[in-house]
Amino acid sequence: MSAPINSNASSEQIIEHHPVKPGCRELFMGFFILGLTGFGGVLPMARRMIVEKKNWLNGDEFTELLGLCQFLPGGNIINLSVALGNEFQGLRGALAAIFGLILAPTAIVVCLGVVYARYQNDPIVEHLFAGLAAGAAGLLLSTGIKMLLPLKGKWLQLTIVIVGIIAIAGLRLPMLLVMLVLAPVSIFLFWRSQQ
C-alpha cells in the first residue's frame, strides 16, 4: 500500500502523496465540468480529468479507487467523487465534489424532462437517444481497455479479471456475488505472490 496523504485518516488509504492536492474549489470545478460535459458513461472522462489532466492520481491509484467504489452501493462516479473529495479535503472536499458533479446535470435533466415529455414520440428524438447510447458504449469500452493496460504481463490479475467478466457478462451471475467471491480470492493470491 502507498503512504496516505492524510496522516489523520483512520482507515488505510490507497492514494500516495501527489504534488497536486486539489482544494475544495478545484474539486467542485473539476467535477462540475465533468458533470456538465459527461453523457452516458462518465468514467472515461473522469479518468482523463483525474489522471491525465489534473494529475490528482496516477493510473494505478485510479484503478484501485474505482475498484473500491464499484464494490460500494451507488453509482461509481458518485462514489468516486465522494471518495476523492474526502481523500484530499475531508468532508468539505467530499461535499464540494459531489455537489459539483450533480448540480448541472440535475438542472439539465429537469429541463430536458419537461421537453422530452412533450416530444418523446418524435423520430428525431428517438434517433438522438440511440446515437447517444452507442457513443456511451464506446467510451466505456475505451476506459476498460485503458484500465487493463497496467495489468500487462500480470497474468494472475488478468485471470481474475477474465473470470469476473465471464461470470458477470457470460453467466449473468449477480455482480455482488462475483465480487464477494473474487475479492477474497484476489487478495489471497496477491498475498501469496508477495511471500
For the chain, list residues with pLDDT below 70: 1-19, 40
Tell me the C-alpha distance between 64 and 73, whole Å: 16
What's the pLDDT at 187? Answer: 87
88 contacts 19 by C-beta, under 8 angstroms? no
What's the pLDDT at 18? Answer: 61
18 contacts 113 by C-beta, under 8 angstroms? no
What's the pLDDT at 15? Answer: 57
Kindly report the pTM of this predicted structure: 0.55
Query: How many other C-beta atoms are found inside a 10 Å radius of the C-beta of residue 54?
Result: 15
177 contacts 185 by C-beta, under 8 angstroms? no
Clarify whether residues 82 and 105 are in a common domain. yes
Clarify whether residues 50 and 78 are in a common domain. yes
Pick the closest to residue 58 from 96, 17, 25 (CA basis). Answer: 17
What's the pLDDT at 107? Answer: 92
What's the pLDDT at 101? Answer: 94
What's the pLDDT at 134? Answer: 86
Name the residue range of residue 191's domain: 153-195
Clarify whether residues 143 and 167 are in a common domain. no
76 contacts 43 by C-beta, under 8 angstroms? yes
Clarify whether residues 117 and 64 are in a common domain. yes
Query: How many other C-beta atoms are found inside a 10 Å radius of the C-beta of residue 31?
Result: 30
Pick the closest to residue 14 from 83, 89, 65, 63 (CA basis). Answer: 65
What's the pLDDT at 168? Answer: 92
Clarify whether residues 32 and 11 are in a common domain. yes
Clarify whether residues 66 and 139 are in a common domain. yes
Clarify whether residues 95 and 175 are in a common domain. no
Of the residues 130, 149, 168, which one is the last residue of a structural domain?
149
Tell me the C-alpha distance between 93 and 22, whole Å: 9
Clarify whether residues 58 and 116 are in a common domain. yes
Domains: count for the chain: 2
Clarify whether residues 87 and 178 are in a common domain. no
Clarify whether residues 142 and 158 are in a common domain. no
Clarify whether residues 106 and 140 are in a common domain. yes
Which residues neighbour 104 within 8 Å (Cβ) at sequence distance 6 or greater? 32, 35, 36
What's the pLDDT at 30? Answer: 95
Pull the grid cell for residue 49.
Answer: 480529468
What's the pLDDT at 14? Answer: 54
Tell me the C-alpha distance between 133 and 77, whole Å: 18
Clarify whether residues 107 and 192 are in a common domain. no
